[in-house]
Amino acid sequence: MHVPDGFFTVPMSLAAGAVAASGVAYSLRKARDELDDRMAPLAGLVAAFVFAVQMLNFPVGAGTSGHLIGGALAAILVGPYTGVLCIAVVVTVQALFFADGGLTALGINISLMGLVTVLTGYGLFRAVGKLAPRTRTGVVIAAFAGAMVSVPMSALAFTGLYAIGGTSSIDPATVAAAMGGVHVVIGLGEGAITALTVSTVLAVRPDLVYGARSLARPSMLRTASGELVPARPAEGGHRAAPRLRPFLLGGVAAAVVLAGLVSFYASANPDGLERVATDLGFLSQAQDHPLGDSALADYTVKGVEDERLSTGLAGALGVGVSLAVGAGVAWALRRRARRRSAAAAIAEPLTPES
């Protein structure tokens, strides 16, 4: 659901940009509490993976396609605030490098695809998680529900913004019915992809799923008296954490394969927003992207004649840029949090006792 330039008035675009900037700024501050030495590199991987899967448009019938938005998935894997940052990175990379989503509409796209999907998707994930069994299956069920609902909620948020600041006079109820209908179906695909991804990570590295931390329980030993106590590492040793590098390399390889190879076979049908805009007659309001002639516009590499190779190279480059920017932001936040913790530790002995 990448909104192009021209769908919204200048005041609405500015207002949405202010909301997006405030949401990202708040997430930058709060994400420091979510990121640790494991989650920081994982944030870059999540951004790269979301970028890759967004290239895989799947058919939803009636000549329409859909693709993953990824807000709920990112929030479940790395936390809601870090998830907002991951989606903001992906949407910004797409707009600046691939001419996908307008520049004046960047705030609208971050708000709809990042803030709304994380707020509704992760919120429902937590609510369903309290009712579902406290097992991995329960987490996967909650992930499916949260991701599925996040897509039509984002579509309805678009409808609300369009009713206030759209550039065409169309009955909001008509837009809501069309957007809600097609995006409910797309939401089923979002839920399935999210559930499959979360289930896979849970099977390989459950400690890396932020939304499943409540499942982690310390190993317990029963004493001679029958009392259960937490297990302790052997004398003089410690329990080694699983290595993170193989998982990260495997995730990056999967993202490159999806974006560089599988994306060539994605559906060429218009996505839900483009289909609705065509059917309701406001697609003509879309303006050409200012960077439409750039080297990677439309997910192709200018000068490469082979279509499959061109798409594959563009996809692989997008994965690399998203990975670098996402990981860079996360590591910068992590370093800042370390410095603040170190400063607090130094200052603590100087605090007079009460």
CATH of the domain at 101: 1.10.1760.20
pLDDT(148) > 70: yes
The number of domains in the chain is: 1
Provide, for the chain, the percentages of residues in helix, strand and coil under a 3-state DSSP scheme, each rounded to the nearest 5.
70, 5, 25
Q: Is residue 240 part of a domain?
A: no
Q: Is residue 235 part of a domain?
A: no
pLDDT for res 39:
84
**Residue pair 75/122 in contact by the 8 Å Cβ criterion:** yes
Q: Is residue 279 part of a domain?
A: yes
**Residue pair 50/90 in contact by the 8 Å Cβ criterion:** yes
pLDDT(238) > 50: no
pLDDT for res 227:
56
- Cα–Cα distance measured from residue 118 to residue 20, given in angstroms and rounded to the nearest whole number: 13
Q: Is residue 2 part of a domain?
A: no
Residue span of the structural domain in which 180 resides: 10-216+245-350
pLDDT(230) > 70: no
Which residues is 229 bridged to in the sheet? 221
User: In the structure, what pLDDT confidence band is assigned to residue 204 with cuts at 50, 70 and 90?
Assistant: very high
pLDDT for res 249:
95
Residue-wise pLDDT tens digits, 69-98? 999 999 999 999 999 999 999 999 999 999
Q: Is residue 239 part of a domain?
A: no
Residue-wise pLDDT tens digits, 98-142? 999 999 999 999 999 999 999 999 999 999 999 999 899 999 999
Residue-wise pLDDT tens digits, 276-309? 999 999 999 999 999 999 999 999 999 999 999 9
Mean pLDDT of 237-250: 75
- Cα–Cα distance measured from residue 143 to residue 68, given in angstroms and rounded to the nearest whole number: 14
Q: Is residue 94 part of a domain?
A: yes
Lowest-confidence range among 20-24, 165-169, 219-223? Answer: 219-223
Q: Is residue 226 part of a domain?
A: no
Q: Give the β-pairing of 58-61 and 220-222.
A: unpaired
Q: Is residue 251 part of a domain?
A: yes
- How many CA atoms, within 13 angstroms, populate the side-chain half-sphere of residue 42? 25
- What is residue 114's DSSP assignment? I
- E-state strands within 125-273: 220-222, 228-230
Name which residue leads in pLDDT, 350 or 29.
Answer: 29
